[in-house]
Structure 1
């Protein structure tokens, strides 16, 4: 098991199948954005079927990988946690993130002035692609759950565990955006554009405040809903959420490397990946100790 990822779970569960498709779609998108598009002669030399496939991938590739990411976490949440906890997190995440995005694209609050281009699917109210709230959900859920399960191993009050999960979960979510946003808005085929250029690789610092606040709000609402039916945290596998977070972070990191943006990668690793590893170590440390104690007793 590496970083809390059980490969057997990925290859033998429905959520794992969606996860595999999600990662393959991201890899295909990276190849198109970083290898194929910068070399138009390669596209011109493709057979007609290849040109059609590439054209289709540029139109719908982003939509597919985000739908598959949502599917992986939705199926995982339903099977691992149950209907109440799945919907109790997903509905606030979708509605609150969509509200923030609609405000952002129409007023500039809370992220700064920006607008979405084509490539991410049908736009709600002509402003926000329907896939954007899906990504808020599956990355926000993964960030929150990993943090909350890790904190559950600490001998601190439950309210402090919940508060820590909200704060660090929102931080992990925002750290992913550190790496993703600069590259995706300035790639050869950008998916959104900043109308308010800022100091952080073309982005305003306000964007990250908006990201953290939006994540913290829907995580807080979900926390209150989950309290109605307390979970048994020690029985939760983190394989799928961990793979989703690291897979999407890897996608963003490669995009940033392609754009020559290294400071965002450093910040993302410092504030996202390293805390993630710490929480995973906490989550599995007690489990390992329990297994060792059982082995000693049986001997």
Structure 2
């Protein structure tokens, strides 16, 4: 278990460092190519690596960190029960989107995010759906106490809120990543929301809701019992990726997407983390549940 935690932390740190390198390369080096000449040999090598594989690295490292976290806290079975639907359903949506325009609108990926599946979708894209989708849904599920007070309303609320957190990240990321000096995808017909069609958000909400529903059904016989401190990694991953998108949008001059993302993504994510049970609450609940069968046995003996 200790080795698992070490690898998880290494991948998480690498994920964040890769995002920082990516920001430096996209926002500073590319617009000012002469800066490369002023760097040391090590600095030039680092920037070349950043440009060649930084986007691929940060998504792979993010997926590895979150998968190891899921395996450590929930077990391998539940980790796979989220990973497989998230990757397969999001990839299906992306392949449909890039070939037919449904459900996101017409768009195409450019280079910079790795090998393209069927020549359309970089293999890293489903990985990003997985790791941001997982932390979004877990924050919503634990924060709404779905497994402590299970009900259909709480399950639906967690799926809807998890999909909203996921989509709010895209509010901020998509306009900047498609219009930066080194764009990673482009819209065939730019939409009304800072270049994005509103249909894109419906596609994100729908895709996220579908794979989160699939995971919820697969988890139905395995309740999740996590306390607030165990949600630190999901919150860090969500905020780090939101921070990356925020810097990109600020550099592009987009402020409204950031405000919407904070209101609909960051604020709810932090609130859900704060609502999650603390250690003392979790212990109290567990102690209460353990007292019930003891009382029942005493009554039976009488």
TM-score (norm 2): 0.88
Partners of 1:120 and 1:183 in 2: how far apart?
A: 15
Q: 1:121 aligns with which of 114, 123, 135?
A: 114
1:257 maps to 250
Distance 1:107 1:220 in 2: 24
Matches within 5 A, 1:33-182: 33-46=26-39, 50-152=43-145, 157-182=150-175
| Structure 1: gaps of 5 or more residues | 1-8, 294-299
User: 1:205 maps to which residue?
Assistant: 198
Give 1:34 deviation, angstroms: 1.1
In the alignment, the residues of structure 2 paired with residue 107 and residue 153 of structure 1 have an alpha-carbon distance, to the nearest angstrom, of: 37
Q: Matched residues in 2 for 1:59 and 1:90: separation?
A: 27
Specify which structure has the bigger relative contact order, considering alpha-carbon pairs within 8 angstroms and separated by 6 or more residues.
Answer: 1
C-alpha separation between the residues in 1 aligned to 2:210 and 2:284?
Answer: 39
Equivalent pairs, count: 283
Local SS of the residue matching 2:108: strand
CA contact 1:116–1:192 (8 Å) conserved in 2: yes
Tell which deviates more after alignment, 12-21 or 103-112: 12-21
- Residues 85 and 226 in structure 1, CA contact (< 8 A), matched pair in contact too: yes
Contact 2:159 2:209 in 1 (8 A): yes
| 2:286 corresponds to 1:281 | no
Q: Look up the SS of the partner of 1:237 in the other structure.
A: helix
Tell me the distance in 2 between the aligned counterparts of 1:291 and 1:115. Answer: 50
Confirm whether residue 189 of structure 1 aligns to residue 178 of structure 2. no
- Residues 218 and 289 (structure 1), Cα distance of their counterparts in 2 relative to 1, 3 Å cut: closer
Q: CA deviation at 1:163?
A: 1.1
Give secondary structure in 1 for the equivalent of 2:34.
Answer: helix
* Whole-Å separation in 1 of the counterparts to 2:178 and 2:75: 37
| Cα distance, 1:17 vs structure 2 | 1.8
Change (3 A) 1:156 1:50: closer
Instruction: Report the CA distance between 1:277 and its aligned residue.
Output: 1.4
- Please tell me whether the aligned partners of residues 198 and 204 of structure 1 are also in contact (alpha carbons under 8 angstroms): yes
Query: Does the 8 Å contact 2:228/2:274 carry over to 1?
Result: no
Range 118-127 or range 52-61, more displaced = 52-61
The alpha-carbon deviation at position 45 of structure 1 amounts to: 3.5
Q: 1:48 to 1:157 in 2, by over 3 A?
A: closer
Tell whether 2:58 aligns with 1:29: no
Q: Please identify the structure whose Cα radius of gyration is greater.
A: 2
How well do the aligned residues superpose, as a CA RMSD in angstroms?
Answer: 2.3
CA separation of 1:225 and 1:128: change in aligned 2, threshold 3 A: same
Deviation string 1:64-115 (CA, Å, 9 cap, x unpaired) is 0000000000100111100110000000000000000000000000000000
Q: Structure 1 pair 269/154, CA: closer, same or farther in 2 (3 Å)?
A: farther
- Higher alpha-carbon deviation: 209-218 or 48-57: 48-57
